[in-house]
Structure 1
């Protein structure tokens, strides 16, 4: 284990974020809403998104992607943050308004800044009424410095990473079925007012006395198959060699290594505070992918996953329109 303050972090984690180049903002993104609340650095290496009483803000990738590795280093607002939602996510709701896919990181503000909650979620084929939320507390204060948040998505699995440590894996199994993201998506980031649901079930909303609220982004990475809408096909450009080979759909990206699985077990055992698979208030019958996970073993090689039974239960999650991301 490595030390981080008084925390022991898993060792020998593959640093996917070191494998791919960082982009300047205008190399991969555009300002999609709340433009007056977006500020770029002179060299384009970072961008600030601001929420104030007038508007939130957001940016979107210039291309849609079919599979890939997508990452940003983010520093969250450091002031009172109740009701604020900062999101890094993938979506195709613009192209498929009634049956869209989505892969979400959502950072939910709290009364005390060190209590930011990280929520992950996926939707497939318009399954917005069947959210598959998992929530985590972080092993650091996300408002004090930049930390890396990454999504790996291919035919085999969807993996969420924090500082290159896997915290959640969604396997493309018979259990998940049509809820697995399967259509090209844009990569987006937003900051918005989620007062109705984000903090303590909506009991604590945004207090604009502390505005403006600023989320900063740098270390932007977009690697995968770019979707050509006119040709209804994907061009894989991640290798930059014209090979047409999907850079993320094979090799080391097919499955997590033993070290990565050890790291994921550490993160989930110590820091996961809610999983929809452990919520009898929402599901009297376990969702099929949860049952499938149990049957095949959450970890490979028959490793013990009994710790999943010890997740601290949170109150039932409220229904909310998180797929709209504030605009």
Structure 2
């Protein structure tokens, strides 16, 4: 079958975008870690099944419960990655989340950075949503949504968060899809307190499907997500001494795992990749939602 000129051009551009990351690949800079050594069960213990070698874990959602794990350490700044494979079939209302939060320690003033994978009412489709807030600023949702450019049910794909004094970067397979620069406009809500790393699967019907219009259909349960390739390299929080171990908060220091020059700003190649992802695959940004916000948040007005 002949391939259209448009599709051929798209494939060439996509191949170029993916190819430019072969030399960088943030996920290749840090060591993979064992689930057993780095994480505890967060909830739904009977639905969490770790591999014997500790390198991977399956999470399931059924009528009785969702499930999830949480890091044993809390981190201040770092690079956090999980290679995730999502459930196939009709998954409307199913939410698989990879995120950092300190809601347990600061229930009324917590920080959070989210990668949320939302099951879609159309069979086999998933939506990527990112969100960020600090100091309890949950009333102002800072969501952005993307259609994925691959089938996340066919294999494992890397979902990553880079967090330091300079910016927060959300990445998919090492391609940045969103950068939140730490500047004056966003400083009051920039995540600033140590956080744990979570991976969960749960029923988000009311929240993720237009008020429950397309709820989870449990006749297709259990819904099983898999994760491997865990990377958590950050400034570990010493809860006894209330200090950051091997951490530099204000300088480009080699003591901080993500404090060097290469993590201070996006490279030209990374920026090109992010522009490609946002131009071709982002379909919602809170900064463009004037129905939701009569007055846009400050960081949107200054762009």
Q: 1:80-116 CA distances to partner (integer Å, 9 max, x unpaired)?
A: 1001110000000000000000000001101234321
Aligned residues of 1:15 and 1:164 also touching (Cα < 8 A): yes
* 1:197 shift after superposition: 2.0
SS at 1:263 equivalent: helix
How many residue pairs get aligned? The number is 289
2:59 to 41, 46, 49: 49
* 1:224 shift after superposition: 0.8
| Distance (Å, rounded) in 2 between the aligned partners of 1:81 and 1:175 | 37
Equivalent runs, 1:1-327 vs 2, <5 Å: 7-10=14-17, 11-13=19-21, 14-236=24-246, 245-292=255-302, 294=303
The two structures, once aligned, show a CA RMSD in angstroms of 2.0
| Distance (Å, rounded) in 2 between the aligned partners of 1:244 and 1:27 | 25
Gapped runs of 5+ residues in structure 1?
A: 238-242, 295-327
TM-score normalised to structure 2 length: 0.91
| Distance (Å, rounded) in 2 between the aligned partners of 1:252 and 1:266 | 21
TM-score normalised to structure 1 length: 0.85
Q: 1:153-194 CA distances to partner (integer Å, 9 max, x unpaired)?
A: 000000000000000000001111211100000000100001
Aligned residues of 1:175 and 1:291 also touching (Cα < 8 A): no
Gapped runs of 5+ residues in structure 2?
A: 1-7, 248-252
Q: 1:28-56 CA distances to partner (integer Å, 9 max, x unpaired)?
A: 11111100000111111110000000000
Aligned residues of 1:71 and 1:150 also touching (Cα < 8 A): yes
| Distance (Å, rounded) in 2 between the aligned partners of 1:3 and 1:21 | 33
SS at 2:300 equivalent: helix
Residue aligning to 2:5: none
